[in-house]
Amino acid sequence: MTSNNRRCVVSGLGVICAVGNNVEETWKNALNSVSGIHKTTSLDTKNCYADLAAEVNCDTLDDIECPDEKDRASKLCIKAMKEALNDAGLGDFADSSRVSVIIGSCVGGVLSIEQYHRHGKNVNEIPKMPIAAIASQVAEACHAGGIVTNVGNACAAGTISIALACDLIRAGKADVVIAGGSDSFASVPYSGFLSLHALDENGCSPFNHCNGITLGEGAGIVIVESLEHAEKRNAKRYCEVLGAGVTSDAHHITAPREDGVCLLEAMDRAVRNSGIKKSDIGYLNAHGTGTGKNDNAEINAFHKFFDEENPTLSVSSTKVMTGHCLGAAGAIEAVFSIKALTTNTVLPTLHYTAEDSEALKAKVGTMDYVQNTPRAKELECVMSNNVAFGGTNASIVFSKKPGDVQSQVAKDKKIAVTGIGIVSPIGNSKEIYLDAVKNGKLPESASICSTVTNDDYKELGIKMAFYRKLDNLGQLQTVSGMRALKDANFTVTEDNAKQIGIIVGTSEGGLGATYDFEELIAEAGNAGGSAFKFPHTVYNAAGGYLSILSGIKGYGVTITTGPLSGLDSIGYSMNVIHDGQEEAMMATGTDENLPIITELCQKMNVAADKVVEPYSNSNGFVVGDGSVSIIMETEDYAKSRGAKVYCYALGYGNGRKNVKFGHISGSDEALDLAIKDALNDAGVSVDEIDAVCGFANGFKKIDDIEKGAYARVFGDKLASLPLFQVKERVGEGRAASATLAAAEAALMLGGELAEENAYFIANGEVSKKKVATAGFKKILVTSFATGGSYSAVVLGK
Amino acid sequence: MANEEIKSKLKAFFMSDLGVDGDVLNYDTPLFGEEIGLDSVDSLEIISFVDDNFGVSMTGVAKENFQSIDTIAAFIEKNKA
C-alpha cells in the first residue's frame, strides 16, 4: 500500500465551462445530458464551414482584483480556483512556500494577443499574452508562495498539471497544490482547427460520427493535498490521486499514432505507478475529441490494453457536452472523473441513435461505451486520458483506495550530466560557444538572435522533408536537442526510446508563432488560417518536433513559467529520474527573438537601446534567444553506456514572493529562499559553493535583486565569489539563457571551460577579472520569473 | 494562364509556404515521397492555395492528382473555368 507520506488526496474542486459555472451546476446539467454546444456568439464565422462552440456564459468573471490586467484565460482560472479553495475550506495562503500552483493551457492569453494586434497595440495587453501569466496570477490571487508552474502541452496540459502536482507533493516539495487548466475560445484556435478541417459542422460526435471536434472553453481546478496536511486540518477528501503516465508519440505534430501504442504506454505507466490492476478501473474518461484519427487510435489502444483483463470497462467522452476545452480539457475531465468516482455514476457520450449504437458495438465489442444517459456503477478507480498536438499522451488514475503508488523509488541515484547542446546568437555548437567565451565575444546589437542554417541540418543528418516543417522555435529546439544527444553519444533506439524523456522550458513558447497566425487571420478572416502554421502556435510543438526527430518516446512535458523555466526543466527532470520514470532526461530551455518579441520588449520599456552588460545599471537588456539542451541520466545508466560525465545535478530549489505578473520588484527575498532550498535539497552548505552562474542582464531592476540576495546569502564570502553571467554574450534569452547558465557550470566542472571572466561584488562595487575554473567543485545556478518566482540548481563534481 | 506559369506559381508556393528547398523540387519530383515528405496537413494547404489562386477545388480529389507539380498543374488546367 502507498505509504502515508506519499498519499495525495483531492480536497477541493472547481470548474467553469459551457455546461455550468460551478461544479454543482455543471454536474447537474451533465447528469441531465445537457450539452453546452451552440452557435458561437463571440467570433466572426464568415465563410467558415463550422460555427458551433461551447462558450462560457458568466457575467461575474470580472469580479476579481484588477480584471483589466488579466486575460480571459486567467479570469476563468481564478474563478474555478476560488470555488475549489472554498470547497476545500482553504483561503489566503500568506505566501506560504508549501502551497504551489500548476496550471495547464494551450493558447493562454491569445485573446490579449488579438486585442493588442487589432486595437492599437496597447502596452497593457502585453503581460497578459503568455501562458505564464495564468499560474502566476492564480498564485497572486490566493498568495500561494510555493512553486508556480505552467504546463504548455496543449490539450494534455490539464492532466499533466495534476500529475506534476502529485510529483511535487511526493517529493516533499509541497503540501497543497492548486492544479488544473484553463483556456478561452478565440479566433486563433477556431481558425486553426478550421484550416485543419478538424471541426465538425454538426457538433462533435465522439466514437460515433467522428467528423471533427467542437471547441469549448473553461477552466478546471483540483486541490491536491498531502494526506498528512489534509488530515491535520480535518479536510474534506474526495479521493486519492494515484499514478500517472506521460509519453511521447514521436510520430506527427498534429496526428496521433494510429496504433495508439504510446497512449497505451501512458496508460500502462499510470496503472503501474498506481500499483493497481487494470481491472480495478471501472470508468475511463477518454480524450474522445470526435476526430476519426483520435477516436480510432483510442479505440485501438483501449482494445489492446483492456480487452484481456477488463473487457467490460465503461468509457465515455464528456467533450460532447463541454466541447474541447484544450488545455482546460484534462482539468475539467478530472473534475468529471472525480465526481463520477465519488457518486458512482458514469457520464455518457451523447447523441447516439439505435443505429449509431449498433455501429459502435461492431467497433468496440464488449467494452461498455456509455451512451445518452448516465449509468449507475460501483466504482473503485477511474482513469482520465488526454492527448495533444506534439504527440503528448497523458493518463492519470483517481481512486477511493490508496493503491500502491510508485514514487521517488530512485531518490538515492546520482544524476550525471552527460551531454550539452548549444544554439545561441553567437553560434550553434558547444565548440563555437566555448571559442566565443575564450575570445570575449559580445553582442553586436541590442537585439540579437540565433540563426540555424542548412549546415546545422547537414551536420546532424536532418533531412529537408523534416526541417521544412519547422518554425523558428522548432529549428532552435531540434538543433540544440540533437547536438546534446550527439555530445552525450546517446543513440536513441527502439530499446531505449522509452527510457529517455524531454522537458522543455520556455518563457514565451509559441507566442511569436501565435502572433504570426493572428496577423494572418486578421487579414484573411477566420476562414483563411494556415494548417501548416497552426501547429506552431502550441507551446509544446518545439518539444514535439524534437521527439519526432530523435525518436524519444518517454516523458515529454513543456513548462512555461518565464526565464526560470530553463532551470525548472532541470529540477523537474531530476524529479522524473528520482521517481524512476526514466533513466535519462533531456532538460532544455528555448526561447526565440522574432521581431515581434523585440517589439513587445521595447513597448514594455525593458529592451536596452544599445549593447549593455550585466551590472551596468541600465534601463533595459539586450534581447536575445537560443536553445540549450542538457542530457541528464542516472550514474548507473551513464556508466553502463560508457558516457563521459561533466558533473552531477545535486539539488534544485524554488522561492516565491507574489508580485504582479510582469513585475519583479519587491520579490527580492524569494531568491534567497530559492538558493537556500536548492542548497538544502543538495545537502550542500553556502561555504561549499565555489561560483555562481546567475541571471544578471544589465537591467538594474533585475540585477539589483540578484546582488542583494547574494549579499544576504553569502555574506562576507561574496567579495571573493566569482559570478558568471552568460547574458553578457547572448543577451536576455530567457529560458535558453537559464539553461545556458547551467550548461556553463557543467562545462566548468567538466574541465571544458578552463577560464572565464567573472564578476565580483564587494561593498556594492562590481569588478571583473579572468578566473581559472579548475578548482571548482560546486556551482550554484539561479534564474527568475516575473510575478516573483526564482529557481536555483546546484551542480557539482 | 499558361501551364508553365501555373507550375512556376506552384513551385514558388511550395518553397515559401511549405518550406521546400527549391533546389531539389522539380516539376516531376514526387511531393509525398521521402525527399519532400508532404503529408495530410500539407495537402490541406495545397487545396486552399489552388482554390484561392486558380479557382479550382481539389477537395476530395483522388490522391494521384497530388503526386507532383506536373499532376496538380494538369488537374488545374483540366478543371479551370
Mutation site for B-interface testing, chosen from A520, A532, A549 by largest number of B Cβ within 10 Å: A532
In terms of CA atoms, which chain B residue is nearest residue A527? B48
A30 is written with which cell numbers?
A: 451533465
Contact at 8 Å (CB) between A91 and A117? no
Q: Does B23 touch chain A (CB under 8 A)?
A: no
* Chain B contact set for A470 (CB, 8 A): 19
Contact A464 B35 (CB under 8 A): yes
Q: Are residues A170 and A298 in the same domain?
A: yes
Closest CA to B51 of B15, B31, B81, B22: B81
Residue B47 touches chain A, beta carbons under 8 Å: no
Three-class HEC string of A125-183: HHHHCCCHHHHHHHHHHHCECCCEEEECCHHHHHHHHHHHHHHHHHCCCCCEEEEEEEE
Determine the residue of chain A that is closest to B51 in CA distance.
A528
Of A254, A466, A535, the CB nearest to B37: A466
- Evaluate if residue A37 carries a pLDDT over 80: yes
Strand partners of residue A476: none
Candidates A198, A156, A203, A462; CA nearest to B41 is A198
- Domain match, A312 and A428 both: no
Q: Is the ipTM of this complex over 0.90?
A: yes
Q: Work out the average pLDDT over A112-138.
A: 98
If asked whether residues A166 and A114 sit together in one domain, one would say yes
Chain B residues within 8 A of A463 when measuring between CB atoms:
35, 37
Distance CA A411, CA A423 (A): 32
Interface contact flag, A196 B44, Cβ < 8 Å: yes
Residue of B nearest to A472 (CA): B19
Q: Once rounded to an integer, what is the mean pLDDT over residues A229-240? A: 98
The runs of H, that is alpha helices, within A32-156 are 72-88, 110-118, 132-142
The single residue listed with the C-alpha cell 547537414 is: A458
Q: Any chain B CB within 8 A of the CB of A49?
A: no
Residues of B in contact with A255 (CB under 8 A): 40
Yes or no, beta carbons of B20 and A464 under 8 Å apart: yes
Question: CB contact, 8 Å: A780 with chain B?
Answer: no
Can A204 be counted among the known catalytic residues?
no
CB contact under 8 A, A196 and B34: no
Min Cα–Cα distance to chain A from B5, Å: 24
Q: Does B29 touch chain A (CB under 8 A)?
A: no
**Known catalytic membership, residue A324:** yes
The alpha carbon of A129 is separated from its chain's Cα centroid by a whole number of angstroms, namely 16
Residue B11 contacts A, CB cutoff 8 Å = no
Comparing alpha-carbon positions, the chain A residue that sits nearest to B24 is A464
Query: Do residues A429 and A483 touch, judged by C-beta distance below 8 A?
Result: yes
Q: Is A514 contained in some domain?
A: no
Give the distance from residue B77's alpha carbon to the nearest chain A alpha carbon, in angstroms: 24
Same domain? For A583 and A679 the reply is yes
Is the pTM above the cut of 0.95? yes
Q: For residue A129, which amino acid is it? A: M
Q: What is the DSSP string of A226-289?
A: EHHHHHHTT----EEEEEEEEEE--S-SSSPPTT-HHHHHHHHHHHHHHT--GGGEEEEE----
* CB pair distance less than 8 Å for B41 and A535: yes
Task: Provide the pairing of β-strand A368-369 with A99-104.
Answer: unpaired
All residues of chain A having their beta carbon less than 8 Å from the beta carbon of residue B42 are 531-532
Task: Specify if A750 maps to a domain.
Answer: yes
Q: Are residues A578 and A671 in the same domain?
A: yes
- 8 A C-beta contact, residue A9 and residue A47: no
What is the Cα–Cα distance from A334 to A129, expressed in whole angstroms? 26
Res. B81: pLDDT tops 80: no
Q: Once rounded to an integer, what is the mean pLDDT over residues A651-666? A: 97
Q: What is the pLDDT of residue A388?
A: 97
Cα–Cα distance, A582 to A632 (Å, whole number): 10
Cell matching residue A793 = 540548481
Partners of A196 on chain B (C-beta within 8 Å) are 41, 44
Q: Is the domain of A391 the same as that of A432?
A: no
Question: What is d(CA A395, CA A385) in angstroms, rounded to the nearest whole number?
Answer: 4
Q: How many distinct structural domains can be found in chain A?
A: 2
Q: What is the pLDDT of residues A353-404, one digit of tens each?
A: 999 999 999 999 999 999 999 999 999 999 999 999 999 999 999 999 999 9
Mean pLDDT of A150-157: 98
Q: Which of A443-452, A570-579, B1-10 has the lowest mean pLDDT?
A: B1-10
A162 falls within a domain: yes
Distance, first Cα to last Cα, chain B: 11
- Which structural domains are found in chain B, ordered by start? 3-18+26-79 (1.10.1200.10)
Per the structure, the complete domain to which residue A724 belongs is given by 415-509+560-796
A532: contact with B, CB 8 A cutoff: yes
Number of Cβ within a 10 Å radius of residue B15: 15
Q: Closest chain B residue to A471 measured between Cα atoms?
A: B19
Q: Among A465, A467, A531, whose Cβ lies nearest the Cβ of B41?
A: A531
Mean pLDDT of A652-665: 97
Q: Nearest residue on chain A to B22, judged by CA atoms?
A: A464
Return d(Cα A132, Cα A508) in angstroms, integer: 8
Q: Find the catalytic residue in A209, A287, A351, A536.
A: A287
Would you call B45 an interface residue with chain A, using a CB distance cutoff of 8 Å? Answer: yes
B49's grid cell: 492555395
CB contact (8 A) between residue A464 and residue B45 = no
Domain presence at residue A515: no
Instruction: Please enumerate, as own/partner, the contacts of B66-69 that have beta carbons within 8 Å and a separation of 24 or more.
Output: B66/B31, B66/B32, B66/B38, B67/B30, B67/B31, B67/B32, B68/B27, B68/B28, B68/B29, B68/B30, B68/B31, B69/B7, B69/B10, B69/B11, B69/B14, B69/B25, B69/B26, B69/B27, B69/B28, B69/B29, B69/B31
Residues 213-272 of A with CB under 8 A from B: 252-255
Q: What is the tens place of the pLDDT at every residue in A160-214?
A: 999 999 999 999 999 999 999 999 999 999 999 999 999 999 999 999 999 999 9
Quick check: is A150 in a domain?
A: yes
Residue A621 grid coordinates: 537588456
Q: Name the residue among A196, A253, A468 with its Cβ closest to that of B20.
A: A468
Same domain, A240 and A280: yes
Interval A518-576: pLDDT, tens: 999 999 999 999 999 999 999 999 999 999 999 999 999 999 999 999 999 999 999 99
Label residue B2 by pLDDT band (50, 70, 90).
confident
Contact at CB, A465 and B36, closer than 8 angstroms: yes
Whether A18 and A237 have beta carbons less than 8 Å apart is answered as no
Is B39 an 8 Å CB contact of chain A?
yes
The stretch A458-483 carries a mean pLDDT of 97
Evaluate whether residue A554 is within a structural domain.
no
What are the tens digits of pLDDT across the range A685-744?
999 999 999 999 999 999 999 999 999 999 999 999 999 999 999 999 999 999 999 999
DSSP string for A443-481:
-SSSB------HHHHHHHT--HHHHTT--HHHHHHHHHH
Domain boundary among A344, A368, A399: A399
| Residue A245 pLDDT > 70 | yes
Residue A155 a catalytic site member: yes
Q: What is the mean pLDDT of residues A75-99?
A: 98
Distance of alpha carbon A337 from alpha carbon A27, whole angstroms: 11
Statement to judge: residues A341 and A475 lie in one domain: no
CATH number at residue A182: 3.40.47.10
Q: Which residue is catalytic, options A142, A155, A210, A647?
A: A155
For residue A492, is pLDDT > 90? yes
Smallest CA–CA distance, residue B2 to chain A, in Å, is: 27
Chain A, 745 to 774: residues with Cβ < 8 Å from chain B are none
Name the region of A231 (left: φ>0; alpha: ψ -120 to 50; beta: rest).
Answer: alpha
Q: Is B60 on the interface with A (CB under 8 A)?
A: no
Do A17 and A325 touch, CB atoms closer than 8 A? yes
Q: Please tell me if residue B34 touches chain A, with a CB cutoff of 8 Å.
A: yes
Closest residue to A531, CB basis, from B34, B35, B44: B44
> In angstroms, what separates the C-alpha of B19 from chain A's closest C-alpha?
4
* B5 CB-near residues (< 8 Å, 6+ apart): none
**pLDDT in the model for residue B1:** 64
Nearest Cβ partner for B41 among A196, A463, A467: A196
What does the pLDDT read at residue A136? 98
Does residue A518 sit in helix, strand or coil? helix
- Residue A633: in which H helix or E strand, if any? strand A626-634
* CA–CA dist A590, A476 (Å, integer): 7
Residue with cell 479553495: A85
Q: Please tell me whether residues A302 and A440 are part of one structural domain.
A: no
Same domain, A243 and A149: yes
On whether residue A1 sits in a domain, the answer given is: no
Chain B residues with CB under 8 Å of A469 CB are 19
Instruction: State CA A183 to chain mean position distance.
Output: 14
Of the residues A399, A429, A458, the one at which a domain ends? A399
- Nearest chain A Cα distance for residue B55, angstroms: 15
User: Would the CB atoms of A468 and B37 count as touching at under 8 Å?
Assistant: yes
CA-to-CA dists, residue A323 to A198, A263, A290, A688, angstroms = 13, 21, 10, 54
Q: In the A/B pair of chains, how many CB contacts fall below 8 A?
A: 45
CB-based contact A531 B18, cutoff 8 Å: no
- A690 occurs within a structural domain: yes
Q: Quick check: A46 contacting B, CB < 8 Å?
A: no
Q: What is the C-alpha separation between A119 and A124, in angstroms, rounded?
A: 12
User: Does residue A395 share a domain with residue A436?
Assistant: no
Q: CB distance from A523 to chain B under 8 Å?
A: no
Q: Answer yes or no: do A610 and A471 share one domain.
A: yes
Mean confidence (pLDDT) of chain A: 97
Which of A197, A252, A469 minimises the CB distance to B44? Answer: A197
A293 touching B, CB under 8 A?
A: no
